[in-house]
Copies of this chain bind each other. A is one copy, B any other.
Amino acid sequence: MRRPTITDIAERVGVSKGAVSFALNGRPGVGEATRARILQVAKEMNWRPHSAARALGGARAEAVGLVIARPASALGVEPFFAQLLSGLQAGLSAQSVALQLLIVEDAEAEMEIYRDWTSAHRVDGFVMVDLMVRDPRIAVLEELGVPAVVLGGPGKHGTLSSVWADDREAMLSIVDYLAALGHRRIAHVAGLPAFRHTQRRTRALRDRAARLALEEAVSVHTDFSDSEGAAATRALLSRPHRPTAIVYDSDVMALAGLGVAGEMGVKVPDEVSIVAFDDSVLTRIAHPAITALSRDTFAFGKRLAEVMLAVVADPEQRRDVKTETPRLTVRESTAPPAAWPGDQNG
């Protein structure tokens, strides 16, 4: 048999569709006895709402969109991202809101989807990730007037709500720690320069290095892949005057860097200290275990979901949530720098 509709229920109970609708949605307009009868019949007939029909009437889609402009193959590699997705999912599941996930080629395509899904009422809002410097997506989302939460900040996300952790403070804490250990030549294997957070981290390093009068503080950019992370490490360790500490913008790159150090016979942490900006199983499992900035990425995703749901519920109010600044978990990959032959002259 065909899937039952409220009309079927109405016929069977002997009331109008309207009454059935009221009863099923728990709103006034039907007597208790009738309501109970309707609910029972609905259950008997195994009725379920047809979300498309509801959406047509302007109701919630019970889904939020996440559109990512990255090569899809990159998604699987990043524990951070995977964890974030899990947390996001968990937060949304709590209210049975689904996640519409789509990977696209570039930001253009991403904005196109924003328009599409918004006008199709396919989602109730969007989560925007990978905030870039002068991000064109902000304007699109603002113009569409659709609920949206930006992952990243502070600032630079227009009138949209946001959830963020302080990348600047986090980087400062790393630099301070390394400086306290005695490091004076620090390298930073960063991600894509177009990302806001890459920029903030790079700047934080530069600023603090200047203030502490460090000898060297260089940031090199990569595409976040393990291969570029390895290549960057190789280049850094091949310098005549090599850095005594390297900070990696992701755990995958840190692990790759650790591998390169091993391959080049550079001892960790004796000859070079390694710090990862993200924490995950990878850093814990590595040998030596890698000192990393820990944050509960899963919880972060969950928070993101909560803010998203709040914004959907009340689009007027803008939210700007700063989450706990990640804290350094010291493991085996960091130590005071060994005296370096070149230093004896200085």
Contacts and interface: CB of A to CB of B under 8 A. Distances in A.
A281 B226 CA distance: 8
A72 to B, nearest CB: 4
A121 B86 contact: no
Contact of A103 (B52, B90, B115, B280): B90
In the complex, the count of this chain's copies comes to 2
Main secondary structure of the interface of A (DSSP, over half): helix
A79 interface: yes
B103 A89 contact: yes
A256 interface: yes
A120 B51 contact: yes
Given A52-B120, A77-B281, A297-B76, A86 B103 contact: yes
A24 to B, nearest CB: 14
B56 A72 contact: no
A74 B82 CA distance: 10
B89 A82 contact: no
Contacts of A282: 255, 282, 285
Contacts of A83: 73, 76-77
A259 interface: yes
Interface stretch (A93-101, A238-246, A309-317, A322-330): A93-101
A116 interface: yes
A204 interface: no
A interface residue count range (under 10 / 10 to 19 / 20 to 34 / 35 or more): 35 or more
A100 B98 contact: yes
A48 B252 contact: no
A37 interface: no
A3 interface: yes
A85 B119 CA distance: 27
Contacts of A339: none
Interface in A52-106: 52-53, 55-56, 61, 63, 72-79, 81-87, 89-90, 93, 98-104
Nearest to A302: B72
A146 to B, nearest CB: 12
Interface in A259-289: 259, 262, 280-282, 284-287
A267 to B, nearest CB: 13
Contacts of A74: 86
A313 B82 CA distance: 30
21 contacts: A3-B119, A49-B120, A50-B121, A52-B56, A53-B56, A56-B56, A75-B82, A76-B87, A77-B280, A78-B82, A79-B79, A86-B103, A89-B103, A93-B103, A226-B284, A255-B281, A256-B285, A259-B286, A262-B287, A282-B282, A282-B285
Given A50-B56, A52-B121, 17 more contacts: A3-B119, A48-B120, A49-B120, A50-B121, A51-B120, A72-B90, A76-B82, A76-B298, A81-B82, A86-B103, A93-B103, A98-B101, A100-B100, A100-B101, A226-B281, A258-B285, A259-B287
